[in-house]
Amino acid sequence: MRLRAHGGRHRRRLRREIRWGISIFAVVLVVEFLVLPRLGGFNRTLAQVAHINVGFVLVGLLLEAAALAAYAELTRAMLPTGGPRRWRIVRIDLSTLALSHLVPSAFGMALRYRMFTQEGVRTADSGFAVAMQGVGSALVLNTIFWLALMVSLFIRPYSPLYTLAAGAGVLLMAVFAAVVVALTRGRQRTVDAARRMAKGLPFIDADRLTEGLQRVAERLRTLVSDRELLRSAIIWATANWLLDAGSLWVFIAAFGVYLSPIDLLVAYGLANILAVIPITPGGLGVVESVLAATLIGFHVPATVAGPAILGYRLVNFWLPIPVGGLAYMSLRFTGEGWRQRFQEVREEVVEHEPVGPPPATDAGQADASPAGGPPRPTSVGPEGGPVLSAQDGAVLPAEDGPVLPAEDGAVLPAEGGEGSPPAGTRR
């Protein structure tokens, strides 16, 4: 009864969270598609859209695709040798990205972890890859933002949002550094402490948790000691952020406004760092609001900032949702899987086919001739017995009598009929 009551409370809480999520999602949609376009006046925004440079839009789309490819390479660098192939990693990333744009990002990380383990990656390696990809990518973004911010402070006025973003970056770096030190320098103490805590918690296997921490510590030590692997991960994470920021710059340039790269990186970094706050899926609404306020502060016309941000978010946030859905379907319903299922169905049909003698033909019905020849007539003997036919020298036994040889397709009537030859003679 207690478990049933607990399950009922859990379901009610889940339904309440889903309702809140849907409500927030609807509010964000209203803000994004109704409020933002009115920043510079709806009519003037439409006038700007009419003069958009389509070539720049295509370049922005290609840059966004390149950013996703760089992110897949970062995932590949975090996985151990012998992991999934590159194309499968791309589709897994797209699938989890689509889910993260619909629900809180924790669900996307859980799906990524599950799909990697289904691909044969060890559970500890999958957890390490998912965690390090997210944290490491965030550290690279904070580094880019800090460098751009230090340069911007000399050419732009100070904003209170800079302090908030910088504080979030410092907190993230401090937590990451503490985890690295705990799992490399104090590895055994950390594992022992985790084991003691796990023994007092229900539904947690202390041995499995300890084994997973040991594996994560080994992977972390490998990442820190392998300079080539660390360099590759940093390069791909940097490429992912810079290509995505480049897509935003191109969408702004499509309206004839060329933003300073420093201003771009400050606005971009600020929006994406604040989007980490778990308010909406994928920072929906947060990214748009912060980008709009920052870009207008950097003297981008409001009639340009609104449609440029919407166009960028269309390819950055909305387009990956259907693409990721198709990627997930391609992973779950591959051509090989369909062929295997079709073969299983065919085998089941063959196994259940009825086995037995063919139905007897009625008297006077034409028999089908073998080898595709014309039908052979069947006659009835005087006493109602069938006529025995023979072909190619076949020997037919006579009823209750000696063997009657036949050759050259001769037809022998049943015994007792007229014209029967003497027993043992040839016709």
- Look at residue 424 and tell me if it is in a domain: no
Whether residue 178 contacts residue 145, with contact meaning beta carbons closer than 8 Å, is answered with no
Can you say how many angstroms the Cα of residue 11 is from the centroid of all Cα atoms in its chain? 27
For residue 300, give the amino acid letter. Answer: V
- Comparing CA positions, the residue from 155, 387, 148 lying closest to residue 271 is 148
Residue 408 CA to residue 202 CA, distance in Å, equals: 89
Q: What is the pLDDT of residue 416?
A: 47
Whether residue 172 contacts residue 139, with contact meaning beta carbons closer than 8 Å, is answered with yes
pLDDT digits (tens, 9 = 90+) for 141-150: 989 988 888 8
Tokens 């771009």: give the residue.
Answer: 264
* pLDDT of 90 over the 80 cut: yes
- Look at residue 162 and tell me if it is in a domain: yes
**DSSP letter for each residue of 38-60:** GSS-HHHHHHHHHT--HHHHHHH
Per-residue pLDDT, averaged over 123-143, amounts to 84
- Look at residue 427 and tell me if it is in a domain: no
- Look at residue 387 and tell me if it is in a domain: no
Share of the chain above pLDDT 70, in %: 56
* pLDDT of 3 over the 50 cut: no
Q: Which two tokens stand for residue 226?
A: 């392998």
Q: What is the pLDDT of residue 150?
A: 84
Per-residue pLDDT, averaged over 122-151, amounts to 85
- Look at residue 310 and tell me if it is in a domain: yes
Per-residue pLDDT, averaged over 361-387, amounts to 49
Whether residue 285 contacts residue 28, with contact meaning beta carbons closer than 8 Å, is answered with yes
Q: How many residues does the chain have?
A: 427
Per-residue pLDDT, averaged over 76-96, amounts to 91
pLDDT digits (tens, 9 = 90+) for 211-242: 766 767 776 777 777 788 889 999 999 999 99
Residue 114 CA to residue 57 CA, distance in Å, equals: 35
- Look at residue 197 and tell me if it is in a domain: no
pLDDT digits (tens, 9 = 90+) for 28-64: 655 555 455 544 454 555 556 667 889 999 999 999 9
Share of the chain above pLDDT 90, in %: 26
State the pTM of this model: 0.65
- Look at residue 417 and tell me if it is in a domain: no
- Look at residue 195 and tell me if it is in a domain: no
Greater confidence (243 vs 23) lies with 243
pLDDT digits (tens, 9 = 90+) for 92-113: 999 999 998 988 877 888 888 8
Number of domains in the chain: 1
Q: What is the pLDDT of residue 285?
A: 86
Print the domain residue range for 149: 2-167+226-337
Greater confidence (194 vs 422) lies with 194
What value does the mean pLDDT of the chain take?
74
pLDDT digits (tens, 9 = 90+) for 282-317: 888 889 999 998 899 888 998 889 889 999 999 999
pLDDT digits (tens, 9 = 90+) for 330-339: 988 765 555 6
